[in-house]
């Protein structure tokens, strides 16, 4: 299911007190792809994604979700199908937990959209398995779980509604490295299942590794829409001007290029960068540290 944003604008207030938040946003988010939205604090990222499932209505323009069109005049009763199709995972989603057991919490969404108890339970169990939460925890209070486990319950609550699109607002915030790795695996699974995935992130290494397209926001407008391989070829000054960091392997590669190295392709990881460096210097025997490759290698 594609999402098309056409001439979207959004403001608060009126008259002399109007505050423009978004201005003339045009963007297509394709199914089976991960779209990353990046930009400094206050650039309009969160406001933009809240239009994708009609938590906010446009002041101008429209958002087309599948065959549902949302404008400033769309009535509340017409928004249900949009919200059912687009799941929203907020930063620290565990703050949204409320039920007495994990299973009841995850069943709430499907029941709210019309599923009976049997259907909702089946969807909830499937989602809990998908996020890797063991069955032994399903009858526990979600508030007795660890922070990482609570995050899984919250994610399962959105997955159980089986939305065609999912929006993640800084989903890795506060997770340990293992939890971040599991989350990234889940995003790849959703992509493989042809879901439409939108990700707000300030972690450029994750954006480089995951995204099919990157939307750069600045002052409520789109500054760039490019594939990572194109975006991160821009010069350092462009990233400074847009208050963005470079992914670690890209920053290191640019440093080396300043000293005469040439890379055949943009390194997607530190391990990829290490392999390209080996080719550049033509070492016959190089030990690549375990921290770069995930295992000891001596070639």
Task: Check residues 296 and 176 and name the one with the higher pLDDT.
Answer: 176
Tens digits of per-residue pLDDT, 8-20? 999 998 888 899 9
**Residue after which a domain boundary falls, among 114, 139, 160:** 160
Judge whether 98 lies within some domain: no
CA 230 → CA 38, 41, 167, 292, distances in Å?
A: 15, 23, 23, 24
Judge whether 147 lies within some domain: yes
Domain count, the chain: 3
pLDDT confidence of residue 299: 47
* Whether residues 85 and 147 fall in one domain: no
The Cα 92–Cα 153 span in angstroms is 12
Q: Is the pLDDT of residue 295 over 80?
A: no
Name every residue whose Cβ is closer than 8 Å to that of residue 76 and which is 6 or more positions away in sequence: none
pLDDT confidence of residue 225: 98
Judge whether 96 lies within some domain: no
Question: Mean of the pLDDT values across residues 288-297?
Answer: 55
Specify the range with the lowest mean pLDDT, choosing from 37-41, 208-212, 267-271: 267-271
Question: Mean of the pLDDT values across residues 78-106?
Answer: 90
* Whether residues 154 and 174 fall in one domain: no
Q: Is the pLDDT of residue 291 over 60?
A: no
Average pLDDT, whole number, for the chain? 89
The Cα 236–Cα 252 span in angstroms is 12
CATH number of 18's domain: 3.40.50.300
Mapped onto helix, strand or coil, the DSSP state of residue 26 is strand
- Which residues are known to be catalytic? 170
* Whether residues 23 and 77 fall in one domain: yes
Give the number of other Cβ atoms within 10 Å of residue 256's Cβ.
Answer: 16
| Long-range contacts of 291-297, Cβ-Cβ distance < 8 Å, separation of 24 or more | none
250 with 270: CB under 8 angstroms? no
Tokens of 151: 């995050």
* Whether residues 86 and 110 fall in one domain: no
Judge whether 97 lies within some domain: no
Question: Mean of the pLDDT values across residues 262-273?
Answer: 84
* Whether residues 175 and 214 fall in one domain: yes
Judge whether 255 lies within some domain: yes
Task: Indicate the pLDDT class of residue 23, thresholds 50, 70 and 90.
Answer: very high
The boundaries of the domain holding residue 56 are 3-91+170-241
pLDDT confidence of residue 91: 80
* Whether residues 187 and 141 fall in one domain: no
Question: Mean of the pLDDT values across residues 47-75?
Answer: 96
**Percent over 90 (pLDDT), the chain:** 63
The pTM of the full predicted model, rounded to 2 decimals, is 0.86
Continuous H helices in 77-223: 80-85, 102-112, 117-130, 147-159, 177-192, 204-210
């Amino acid at each position: 299911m594609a999402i098309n944003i056409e001439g979207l604008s959004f403001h608060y207030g009126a008259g002399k007190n109007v505050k423009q938040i978004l201005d003339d946003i045009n963007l297509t988010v394709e199914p089976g792809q991960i779209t990353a939205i990046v930009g400094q604090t206050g650039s309009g990222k969160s406001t933009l994604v809240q239009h994708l499932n009609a938590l906010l209505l446009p002041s101008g323009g429209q958002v087309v979700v599948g065959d549902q069109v949302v404008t400033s005049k769309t009535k509340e009763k017409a928004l249900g199908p949009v919200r059912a199709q687009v799941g929203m995972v907020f930063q620290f989603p565990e703050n949204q937990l409320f039920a007495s057991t994990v299973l009841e919490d995850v069943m709430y969404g499907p029941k709210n959209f019309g599923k009976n108890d049997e259907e909702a339970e089946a969807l909830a169990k499937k989602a809990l398995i998908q996020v890797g939460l063991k069955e032994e925890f399903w009858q526990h209070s979600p508030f007795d779980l660890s922070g990482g486990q609570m995050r899984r319950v919250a994610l399962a609550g959105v997955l159980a509604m089986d939305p065609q699109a999912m929006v993640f607002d800084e989903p890795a915030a506060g997770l340990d490295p293992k939890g971040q790795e599991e989350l990234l695996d889940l995003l790849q699974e959703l992509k493989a299942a042809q879901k439409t995935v939108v990700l707000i992130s300030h972690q450029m290494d994750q954006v480089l590794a995951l995204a099919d397209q990157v939307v750069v926001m600045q002052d409520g407008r789109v500054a760039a829409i490019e594939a990572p391989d194109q975006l991160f070829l821009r010069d350092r000054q462009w990233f400074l001007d847009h208050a963005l960091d470079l992914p670690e392997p890209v920053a290191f590669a640019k440093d080396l290029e300043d000293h005469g190295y040439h890379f055949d392709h943009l390194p997607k990881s530190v391990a990829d960068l290490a392999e390209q460096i080996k080719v550049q210097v033509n070492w016959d025997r190089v030990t690549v540290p375990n921290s770069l490759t995930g295992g000891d290698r001596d070639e």
